[in-house]
């Protein structure tokens, strides 16, 4: 079974592409993309987004990634139930797990996880002892430590089994209890999602889960496009492979362990500090899988992080600082965020939404009259950017071309989360703006922008502000008054993954540009009256089959007045930039890579080689002294490349 009927496919526009003036060596192409989110991968997310349901192949993929099924090759190749070992046909997998899998996807009541149990969280409340309270400890030093904390109300007595510590009447102690969360609905990753099936193994026990998700998404991206980091390093110097993956918050489980476990007397793992550092999320992917030596710049831009990451990657390629950049963003979901966003009244209050007769899946309802705030989610995605001439030389797939990427601020404000209009700066100068010129270089104008993927958080303030922003952008760029702009509001399905949100948006935009299917916002019952004045904007309630589209915009807005705008075009812009004699060869090579990538993914699912394997000996040969010498030579030699055996040439020790 294929995970999607055709996976990524390379389509050509139905109309001839206007002349592209941008040279390939200045073009920034998205050649690979992968995600881990509340509805699984980019493949399963697209199915649910467009078709409102999973295919048989989608259910099988999710049954595999959630550890419900395992493929056994002996004695007879077959899928088996991971718990019982029973052999299963694909039809039996769907019958047994289909409903269960769909119930554990997307926006839903939080499933129990760690200290989050049945929609409640732990609380340590102060209590005054009404009588003397005693307990036994083993050592005098431990007993004395209790005295030091409250010497006036603590006494110690040596007894046969150790030391009896007594807290006197009136002492203040803290007793755990649970309290009900006002936000008990969110968008967690699929229930049971297990990175180990991708080959991560014991690695998942020592790294924060956000780092594991990022690694899985990056592996998926490369595999799905039929390319490996090692292959790219055979064509570019290792200092020309950079990483700009970012996160809004970082490893929340590691951070909680570092602060809370120690306070409660538990022992966190020895290196928990490193797992809490935001840049370490990307560092694990860089050191375990990619192996580049280029820039490591990891933006923290709250909910706009993934878009800012792509901007950083775009700039590095444009400035000649890299030829390959791995970009994207991720964030987790935990009690701290649930409480924090709830206290700010940024998220939808669960009971208030239910009281309106709104189902849990309908809580996130961008642009709707009854929207009540965003629904917090988790996950993110990876987008691999490569310079156009290298794409042509290697026959890499092109999922989209980044025409423009920039971020802005909002000037003086009195509120950190207040929405602003900074992204309107992309149209400074109108038809002569940087955005307009970037589109023109790719043979496009403002009228060729077919769709906008909005940040659309489902908050009262954001949705109209962002709608106004896009209407004014269209005015400034000279878009015809009667030319509709179709709005995609992805968070109605995925919830709000904060730093990972724009990764879903950009990957989704690439998919719909190629497929020519515009997804609806199924939670949109009635568009807010305040949006009627934005005449170009069109909100779909049913999927619309249009055929291949030329271009779209992504806007991503983050707390702290970060706003980012990314313009992505159909792969046809890249094809139009190729000499006509080379287009057919590129298309054939790129299409074959996608076929090979799909085959590799299916092989990994069906008992073949693991999809991830750690690199041997850091891609060098020899002992420690020889490796250091070879690494020195590689870094100083501008012609150094990975060789056909997957290692750097050994240099003699001098």
What DSSP string describes 184-232? -EEEPSPTT--GGGGT-TTHHHHS-HHHHHHHHHHHHHHHHTT--HHHH
Q: Go through the chain and tell me how many residues it has.
A: 654
Contact present, 327 and 312 (Cβ < 8 Å)? yes
Average pLDDT over all residues of the chain: 94
The CA distance from 586 to 572, in Å, is: 12
User: May I ask the CATH architecture of the domain 24-60+184-591?
Assistant: 3-Layer(aba) Sandwich (3.40)
Interval 241-282: pLDDT, tens = 999 999 999 999 999 999 998 888 888 899 999 999 999 999
The CA distance from 373 to 358, in Å, is: 13
| Residue from 121, 101, 94 nearest 110 by CA | 121
Q: Which fold has domain 120-180?
A: Alpha-Beta Plaits (3.30.70)
Where, residue-wise, is CATH 3.30.70.2490 in the chain? 120-180
Interval 629-650: pLDDT, tens = 999 999 999 999 999 888 997 6
The CA distance from 516 to 169, in Å, is: 73
The percent of residues in the chain predicted with pLDDT above 90, rounded, is 91
- Chain center to CA of 426: 25
- Region 473-479: what's the mean pLDDT? 98
| Rg of the Cα atoms in the chain | 27
Binned at pLDDT 50, 70 and 90, residue 10 comes out as: low
Q: Is the pLDDT of residue 294 over 70?
A: yes
Q: H or E element: which one contains 569?
A: strand 562-569
Where, residue-wise, is CATH 3.40.47.10 in the chain? 24-60+184-591
- Region 389-406: what's the mean pLDDT? 98
The CA distance from 382 to 572, in Å, is: 22
The reported pTM is 0.95
What DSSP string describes 229-294? HHHHHTTS-GGGEEE--EESS--HHHHHIIIIIHHTT----TTHHHHHSTTHHHHHHIIIII---S
The pLDDT value recorded for residue 153 is 96
Enter the tokens of residue 475.
């005015």
The CA distance from 620 to 311, in Å, is: 33
Q: Is the pLDDT of residue 7 over 60?
A: no
The CA distance from 236 to 639, in Å, is: 9
- Region 545-552: what's the mean pLDDT? 90
Interval 172-230: pLDDT, tens = 999 999 999 999 999 999 999 999 999 999 999 999 999 999 999 999 999 999 999 99
The pLDDT value recorded for residue 262 is 86
The CA distance from 368 to 267, in Å, is: 47
């Amino acid at each position: 079974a294929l995970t999607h009927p055709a996976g990524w496919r390379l389509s050509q526009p139905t109309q001839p592409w206007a002349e592209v003036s941008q040279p390939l060596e200045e073009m920034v192409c998205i050649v690979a993309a992968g995600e881990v989110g509340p509805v699984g991968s980019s493949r399963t997310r697209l199915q649910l987004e467009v078709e409102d349901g999973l295919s048989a192949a989608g259910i099988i993929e999710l049954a595999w990634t959630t550890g419900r099924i395992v493929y056994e090759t002996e004695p007879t190749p077959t899928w088996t139930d991971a718990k019982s070992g029973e052999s299963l046909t694909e039809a039996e997998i769907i019958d047994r797990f289909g409903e269960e899998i769909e119930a554990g996807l997307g926006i839903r009541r939080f499933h129990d996880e760690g200290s989050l149990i049945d929609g409640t969280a732990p609380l340590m409340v102060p209590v005054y002892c009404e009588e003397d309270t005693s307990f036994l400890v083993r050592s005098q030093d431990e007993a004395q430590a209790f005295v030091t904390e409250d010497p006036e109300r603590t006494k110690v007595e040596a007894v046969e089994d150790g030391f009896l510590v007594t807290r006197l009447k009136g002492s203040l102690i803290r007793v755990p209890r649970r309290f009900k969360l006002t936000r008990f609905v969110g968008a967690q990753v699929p229930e049971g999602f297990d990175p180990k099936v991708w080959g991560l193994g014991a690695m998942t026990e020592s790294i924060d889960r956000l780092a594991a998700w990022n690694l899985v998404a990056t592996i998926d991206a490369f595999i799905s496009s039929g390319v490996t980091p090692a292959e790219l390093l055979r064509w570019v110097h290792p200092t020309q492979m950079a990483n700009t993956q970012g996160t809004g918050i970082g490893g929340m489980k590691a951070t909680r362990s570092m602060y809370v476990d120690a306070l409660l007397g538990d022992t966190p793992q020895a290196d928990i500090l490193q797992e809490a550092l935001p840049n370490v999320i990307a560092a694990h992917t860089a050191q375990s899988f990619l192996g580049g030596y280029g820039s490591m710049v990891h933006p923290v831009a709250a909910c706009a992080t993934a878009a800012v990451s792509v901007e950083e990657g775009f700039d590095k390629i444009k400035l000649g600082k890299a030829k390959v950049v791995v970009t994207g963003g991720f964030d987790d979901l935990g009690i701290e965020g649930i409480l924090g966003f709830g206290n700010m009244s940024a998220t939808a209050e669960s009971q208030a939404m239910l009281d309106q007769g709104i189902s849990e899946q309908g809580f996130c309802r961008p642009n709707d009259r009854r929207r009540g705030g965003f629904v917090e989610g988790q996950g993110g995605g990876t987008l691999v950017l490569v310079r156009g001439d290298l794409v042509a030389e290697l026959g890499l797939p092109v999922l989209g071309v980044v025409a423009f990427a920039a971020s802005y601020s909002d000037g003086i404000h009195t509120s950190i989360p207040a929405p602003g209009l900074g992204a309107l700066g992309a149209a400074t100068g109108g038809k002569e703006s940087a955005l307009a010129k970037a589109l023109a270089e790719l043979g496009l104008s403002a009228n060729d922008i077919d769709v906008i993927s909005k940040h659309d958080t489902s908050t009262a303030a954001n949705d109209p502000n962002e709608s106004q922003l896009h209407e004014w952008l269209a005015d400034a760029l000279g878009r015809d008054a009667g030319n509709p702009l179709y709005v995609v509001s992805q968070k109605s399905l995925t919830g709000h993954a904060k730093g990972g949100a724009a990764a879903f948006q950009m990957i989704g935009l690439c998919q719909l540009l190629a497929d020519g299917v515009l997804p609806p916002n199924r939670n949109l019952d009635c568009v807010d009256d305040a949006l009627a004045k934005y005449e170009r904007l069109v909100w779909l309630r049913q999927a619309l089959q249009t055929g291949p589209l030329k271009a779209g915009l992504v806007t991503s807005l983050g707390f702290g007045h970060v706003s980012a705008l990314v313009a992505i075009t159909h792969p046809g812009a890249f094809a139009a930039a190729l000499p006509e004699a080379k287009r057919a060869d590129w298309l054939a090579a790129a299409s074959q890579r996608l076929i090979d990538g799909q085959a590799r993914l299916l092989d990994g699912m069906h008992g073949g080689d693991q999809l991830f394997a750690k690199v041997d000996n850091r891609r060098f040969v020899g002992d420690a002294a020889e490796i250091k010498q070879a690494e020195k030579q590689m870094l100083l030699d501008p012609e150094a490349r990975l060789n056909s055996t997957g290692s750097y040439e050994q240099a003699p020790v001098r």
